[in-house]
A and B are shown apart, each in its own frame.
Chain A
Amino acid sequence: EVQLVESGGGLVQPGRSLRLSCAASGFTFDDYAMHWVRQAPGKGLEWVSGISWNSGSIGYADSVKGRFTISRDNAKNSLYLQMNSLRAEDTALYYCAKDMGGGQLLFTFDIWGQGTMVTVSS
């Protein structure tokens, strides 16, 4: 079964850091680009960041550029999101999503995890 399982969310104070993880199973992880997409409570979807199969292509939304860093470890079938200088507006459910376009960034998300909640508050 194809599965993505996120972890690492929680309550954090503004200005602090958090690292999210996504464990993939049921498919050949290093054949696909991967993404993080977030959803603030009661709001719509926002793409956060994406990474190609070999980490050669990486993209970020303007709202997180310079503060968040995406990475992957193909040996561990894992995707990560390092979030620094967190702000209240980063409060959201963070989803890990698989790109259906093979190893490159096609930005079409065919498999999603259940998400991990990040709350930024003092």
Chain B
Amino acid sequence: DIQMTQSPSSLSASVGDRVTITCRASQSISSYLNWYQQKPGKAPKLLIYAASSLQSGVPSRFSGSGSGTDFTLTISSLQPEDFATYYCQQSYSRITFGQGTRLEIK
């Protein structure tokens, strides 16, 4: 199975900060990479699909980039509602998720 490794596993940041989360695949997955946001007690929410396409209704401060094995999720200016756990997920072969990145308030 393709392993997805996110870094960092946790991150402390302040409102207004620019934040980048990285996801690395154990083999090339082209652009078959999605990003989800999950808040405590809630279902995950799709943010970015196909590595860089912004899901409808998601604020433009979220962006995704990358292809092959290395991908990033960037939040350009953190808002209070962005503090959550973020997961990457590959849809190339035998679906797997990253272990998650917990974004906390500094």
Question: Could you list which residues of chain A lie within 8 angstroms of chain B, going by C-beta atoms?
Answer: 37, 44-47, 50, 61-62, 95, 100, 106-110, 112-115
Contacts and interface: CB of A to CB of B under 8 A. Distances in A.
Interface in B51-88: 55, 87
Contacts of B44: 37, 45, 95, 109, 112
A108 B43 contact: no
Given A44-B98, A47-B95, A114 B43 contact: yes
B95 A107 contact: yes
A39 to B, nearest CB: 9
Interface of B: 1, 34, 36, 38, 42-46, 49-50, 55, 87, 89, 91, 94-100
A43 B43 CA distance: 13
Nearest 6 CB-CB pairs, A to B?
Answer: A107-B91, A112-B43, A47-B95, A45-B97, A110-B46, A108-B49
A45 B98 CA distance: 8
A113 B43 CA distance: 7
